[in-house]
Amino acid sequence: MKDLKNKLIAEFLGTFWLVFGGCGSAVLAAKFITTDGITPINLGIGLVGVAFAFGLTVLTMAYAIGHISGCHLNPAVSIGLFVGKRFSGAELLPYIVAQVLGAVAGAGVLAVIAGGQADFSLAGGFASNGYGDHSPGKYSMVACLVAEVVLTFFFLLIILGATDKRATQGFAPIAIGLGLTLIHLIGIPVTNLSVNPARSTGPALFVGGWALQQLWLFWLAPILGAALAGVVYPLMAGGRAGEGK
């Protein structure tokens, strides 16, 4: 029981860091306009910077808490690992609860900080995920659903492969962090990229309205993609020989 408590604390803090760091980079730093006294200058990190911020949150937490909880930070990851027989079903629901609570807490602290700027408004989206009119690139619901399924599938494939017993040891966090960076580079224009139901839930609870109405897609699609990877990877890797460390 004590061991599970430690794991849940690690998952809470790790998911807090993912949302605070990843969504925080989008809300606070993606676009930062200053001036030299005459000309507006954008010193923001842009979409590439946001993509790397999300990747860095997972990379850093993988080294910090990977040995405690496995550093899932994502209900879809936990479900994918469960389907792939890498994770205990008894811990699945507690992990998901801890992850969602961590995401909500991270979004809450971010809202307090962002709200310290006079012209801040949640109407700007607060890094929420969306489709249709709320997709950054105005992509359709079907396009967004397909993108989230495919990108989550490959994210889980990277996780399962990088943590395989036969993989080079010690480098899994780098592969996983860079994998998350890559899928953000692809997916931010489409949905603001989720591949993580907890990450989507945190900001959506503060935005409300459309963000909550569209939240279903960002639970359904990542879980489908992750579960599919949990089935495919063991078949590709050769059953038990592909089990994690």
In whole angstroms, give the CA distance from residue 185 to residue 66. Answer: 24
Q: Indicate the SS3 state at residue 130.
A: coil
In whole angstroms, give the CA distance from residue 182 to residue 186. Answer: 6
In whole angstroms, give the CA distance from residue 225 to residue 150. Answer: 6
Output 118 or 1, whichever has higher pLDDT.
Answer: 118
* Domains by residue range for the chain, with CATH: 2-242 (1.20.1080.10)
The total number of residues written for the chain in this structure: 245
Whether residue 219 is predicted with pLDDT greater than 90 in this model: the reply is yes
Phi, psi angles (nearest 5°) of residue 190 = -85, -55
Q: What is the pLDDT of residue 128?
A: 97
Whether residue 34 is predicted with pLDDT greater than 80 in this model: the reply is no
Q: How does DSSP classify residue 240?
A: G
Q: What is the pLDDT of residue 38?
A: 75
Q: What is the pLDDT of residue 245?
A: 41
Integer angstrom CA distances of residue 55 from 25, 94, 177, 208, 212: 12, 24, 4, 26, 25
In whole angstroms, give the CA distance from residue 1 to residue 25. Answer: 36
Q: What is the pLDDT of residue 137?
A: 97
pTM above 0.75, yes or no: yes
Phi, psi angles (nearest 5°) of residue 143 = -60, -40
Q: pLDDT, tens digit, for every residue of 144-156?
A: 999 999 999 999 9
